[in-house]
Amino acid sequence: MRFVIVTGMSGGGKSTALKMLEDVGFYCVDNLPVSLIEKFVELVSVPGSEINRVALGLDVRADQSFEETTKILDQLREAGYNFEILFMDASEASLIKRYKETRRVHPLAVDGRVEEGVKKERKVLENVRKNADYVLDTSKLLTRELKEELDRIFVKNEEYNSLMVTVMSFGFKHGIPADADLVFDVRFLPNPFYIDELKKKTGNDREVQDYVMGFPEAETFMEKLTDLIQFLIPNYVKEGKYQLVAAIGCTGGKHRSVTLANELYKRMKDKGKYGMKLYHRDIMNQGT
């Protein structure tokens, strides 16, 4: 039987993940009282049971200590029960924004202050996150992208290291992305903006892609960049990094950077044990 504990930060996407796991055949139970966890595991683990995939949602609540939950989980491991932990996370800014949009009250919020609740919860869940088998940061994940990641882990059963690589295009005239880990400047390539028939197109159009990638320098750059990123990924994983943002910039973020970001994404997607997403930050902005 495959048994998955789904936990994480409130607002991080736990409920959504449980629904997606249910859609692919998991028997899902959420918010089970701590006192019933051990009995529940015993029941679903009975030999001959028709249930062979279970997901149990656990979270921090104001009326009970999460330490009790972790003690139960430790006892289950000692008793020989095998389970995996999926930790749903998001940045503090994303969590606060989600709570304000839904007008929900954070379970650990003091006097209704979401910020304090988030900080307190992160401290409580610190060790659980550290020992989780999978950590998914949903700060910038679309619903479709979250489903793809869950499918990789629990449907395709691919080996997974919880690293999410974001390939981002941007325009230097609009500022360097604040969350970029790696920044690459491709303004050394000829600019399609000055070609009349390409000016109003973007790096998502075949004509612009053919123009940019038609220069030998573009292909050489792409080969070296792909090799560099693939070298860095396992080393970032060893250091416990969960997010890697590789930002590729040109002047306006519409032509060269978009073309090369698309190309890097295409060359790296499904090539390793990591998640991949593509984001064009400035493609709708006016400019070169």
Averaged pLDDT score across all residues of the chain: 90
Residue 160 has pLDDT above 70, yes or no: no
In the chain, the domains with their CATH numbers are 2-154 (3.40.50.300), 164-280 (no CATH)
Q: Please answer whether residues 134 and 84 qualify as being in contact, where contact means their C-beta atoms are separated by less than 8 angstroms.
A: yes
* pLDDT tens for each residue of 174-218: 999 998 999 999 999 999 999 999 999 999 999 999 999 999 999
Tokens 């936990």 found at: 7
Residue 26 CB contacts under 8 Å (≥ 6 apart), including other chains: 4, 53, 54, 55, 154
Q: For residue 280, list its beta bridge partners.
A: 169
Burial per residue of 180-194, b for 16 or more beta-carbon CB atoms within 10 angstroms, e otherwise: beeebebeebebbbe
Residue 62 has pLDDT above 70, yes or no: no
Residue 159 has pLDDT above 70, yes or no: no
Residue 93 structure tokens: 């800014």
Long-range contacts, 232-239 (Cβ 8 Å, 24+): 232/182, 233/163, 233/165, 233/272, 233/274, 236/163, 237/161, 237/163, 237/274
pTM recorded for the entire structure: 0.69
